[in-house]
A and B are shown apart, each in its own frame.
Chain A
Amino acid sequence: MDRFISRLLFLAACSSTAILALIALFIFMEGAPILFRSGFGHFLAGRTWAPLEGQFGILPFILGSLWVTAGSLLLGVPLGVACATYLAVFAPPRSALILKPAIELLAGIPSVVYGFLGVLWLAPLIRTHLGGPGLSILGASCVLAIMILPTIVSVSIDALQAVPRSYREGSLALGATEWQTTRRVVLRAARSGILAGVILGMGRAVGETMAVIMISGNATHIPGSILDSVRTLTANIAIEMGYAVGDHRRALFATGVVLFFFIMILNTAALRVARRKF
């Protein structure tokens, strides 16, 4: 009896890995024909996306994803690491108890709500003060920066709290101030954990869909500046899935394959980095 239960539980435990494998399998099965027929080079480096004429080049979307992700990291990482440092080191325990879940709650806000606020409030702000259409790389980066904040903050806090007390105490005993200790000892010791948080945040930014669709404008050309409208890999899939059939749909799945690859690389990197000790 006990052995039977043990088998059953083992099967359950394998379900996540099985689902991951199934996801990879099905998306490849749908997307691979297009990838092989038009060639990886043509698909990845093609500049024209004209599905009705059978032209599937996703370079603009790859660049779009990279631009938007880079922008969100540029804004989100300093903010996130600063928040984490404050909460893990300086904040009084009582207020950290309230502030940490408040920041984590940012992850609970539906992404469509972020998109909505971006369109209603942020886009007009950018349009009037900086020019351009408003729905832009800059807008998307700002919204994504807020959305990836909880990931960066909570992983970084864990990393900072995992630094042995003796490191801190040793530095303080040598006469360093609290800030000197934090900057030169604690942050440095926690850097691989923080880096893992940043990579995970990057994964979230690359994978975010609904907010990006609403705020980034979705033009299919290669963006010229950060005030330009842009379309990401995720947005490309989500926008056209509704009506795509045949090769067009397969090309969207092929876009999914590229996205999946990218995310798996980021995930593996984050796991590697997180395992490293100090």
Chain B
Amino acid sequence: MRIAPTLTEKIAKGMLMLACASAVASLLFVIVFILAGGFRHVSWGFLTQPILDMGRSGGIAPAIVGTFLMVFVALGIAAPLGVASAIYLAEYTLEGRATQAIRFGINCLAGVPSIIFGLFGFILFVVMLGLSWSILSGGLSLAAMILPTIIRTAEEALRSVPAQYRDVAASLGATRWQVVTRSVLPYALPGILTGVILGIGRSIEETAVVIFTAGSAVQMPRSLLDSARTMAVHFYILAREGISTEKAYATAAVLILTILVINILAYTLMHRVLRGRRAV
């Protein structure tokens, strides 16, 4: 018996839709499971108190500060470096051997697993440069990890700037650098910011890199040379060592909420840029 093509069409469409629905359902499951389990235990005190008794009681204030500082260091290095790389690739050179080598480096770096960044950061920053387990070591390792994300998004943003912007500025006698800084960058800024925000997100969710390069001290960090734990590391230790399921849930809830806000921010920013472009 031959099945009518129209029937096959309906079945196929249904199956594809089902696949998509199940993917989205698993996302919702993760979010709801964590938020429902964790939010009961999140309070103002939980966010502002020190970690007590290895996490059995108290809050996660040092982990929040540690996360913030490490992201700050990572961005401080990776954002300027990444945007500069993107400017070079998009504005200063033509495609050739050199850009091929550069692009190969970027693409491969993007695929390197986080545990390798952890090993690298450990041996270079912690051991050889003598920075020991510190926020600085962690931030530098994270910077290496998020660099490709920032470069790729920034380059895409720069390439989406219409050619007239460059032509007009250049015809007025601007040098290439003036064209880039006064005319191209302001237009590409939202797109570049999207990449930076995605980099923040990746740094916050990362565990393997941070645990080997920044350690997991529970005290409030006093300087960038102090060891500290991020929220993700704190959560991992609580969950893996079975210290406190309640606190683990609460930490995960804060973590997931932060990630959600960051991703939605990045998405709306990018979406606004795209919509703006289409209207022009």
CA distance A102 to B30 in the complex (A): 12
Main secondary structure of the interface of B (DSSP, over half): helix
CB neighbours of A78 from chain B (8 A):
19
Q: Mark B9-42, 1 if CB is under 8 A from A, else 0.
A: 1001101110110111011001101100000000
CB neighbours of B5 from chain A (8 A):
177, 179-180
Binds A, one of B49-57, B68-76, B217-225, B233-241: B233-241
Q: Mark A101-128, 1 if CB is under 8 A from B, else 0.
A: 1110110111111111101010000000
Q: Is A153 part of the contact surface with B, judged by Cβ < 8 Å?
A: yes
B1 to chain A, nearest CB (A): 18
B157 to chain A, nearest CB (A): 16
Partner of B34, one of A9, A30, A113: A113
The answer on a CB contact under 8 Å between B122 and A241 is yes
The answer on a CB contact under 8 Å between A209 and B88 is no
CA distance A202 to B263 in the complex (A): 24
Q: Is B63 part of the contact surface with A, judged by Cβ < 8 Å?
A: no
The answer on a CB contact under 8 Å between B19 and A214 is no
* B: interface residue count bin: 35 or more
Binds B, one of A53-61, A130-138, A263-271: A263-271
B82 to chain A, nearest CB (A): 8
B181 to chain A, nearest CB (A): 10
Q: Is B161 part of the contact surface with A, judged by Cβ < 8 Å?
A: no
B155 to chain A, nearest CB (A): 10
Q: Which residues of chain B from 98 to 152 have a CB within 8 Å of any chain A CB?
A: 101-102, 104-109, 111-120, 122-124, 144, 147-148, 151
A150 to chain B, nearest CB (A): 9
The answer on a CB contact under 8 Å between B102 and A17 is yes
Count how many chain A residues have C-beta atoms less than 8 Å from C-beta atoms of the other chain. Answer: 85
CB neighbours of A2 from chain B (8 A):
175-177
CB-CB under 8 A for A121 and B33, given A20-B108, A207-B114: yes
A27 to chain B, nearest CB (A): 6
CB neighbours of A121 from chain B (8 A):
33
The answer on a CB contact under 8 Å between A203 and B111 is yes
The answer on a CB contact under 8 Å between B12 and A179 is yes
CB-CB under 8 A for A112 and B236, given A117-B30, A200-B111: yes
CA distance A13 to B26 in the complex (A): 38
Q: Is A12 part of the contact surface with B, judged by Cβ < 8 Å?
A: yes
A179 to chain B, nearest CB (A): 4
Q: Which residues of chain B from 162 to 217 have a CB within 8 Å of any chain A CB?
A: 175-177, 201, 204-208, 211-212
CA distance A16 to B77 in the complex (A): 12
The answer on a CB contact under 8 Å between B263 and A108 is yes
CA distance A16 to B81 in the complex (A): 9
A251 to chain B, nearest CB (A): 12
CB-CB under 8 A for A86 and B20, given A16-B105, A113-B30, A117-B33: yes
CA distance A109 to B31 in the complex (A): 9
CB neighbours of B176 from chain A (8 A):
2, 6
Q: Name the residue in A1, A30, A101, A210 with the highest tally of chain B Cβ atoms < 10 Å from its Cβ.
A: A210
Supply 4 further A-B pairs (C-beta < 8 A) apart from A30-B123, A116-B252, A177-B6: A22-B120, A207-B113, A210-B236, A213-B240
Q: List 30 A-B contacts (CB under 8 A).
A: A6-B92, A14-B102, A15-B81, A16-B102, A16-B106, A17-B102, A22-B120, A22-B124, A27-B120, A83-B19, A101-B267, A105-B27, A109-B256, A110-B207, A110-B256, A116-B252, A146-B23, A149-B23, A153-B23, A179-B9, A179-B12, A207-B115, A207-B116, A209-B115, A210-B207, A256-B115, A259-B116, A266-B111, A267-B107, A271-B107
Query: Residues of A at under 8 Å CB distance from B?
Result: 1-2, 5-6, 8-10, 12-20, 22-23, 26-27, 29-30, 78-79, 82-83, 85-87, 90-91, 97, 99, 101-103, 105-106, 108-117, 119, 121, 146, 149, 153, 177-180, 182-183, 200, 203-204, 206-210, 213-214, 234, 237-238, 241, 252-253, 256, 259-260, 263-264, 266-268, 270-271
Closest 7 A-B residue pairs measured CB to CB? A207-B113, A17-B105, A82-B19, A12-B84, A110-B205, A86-B16, A9-B88
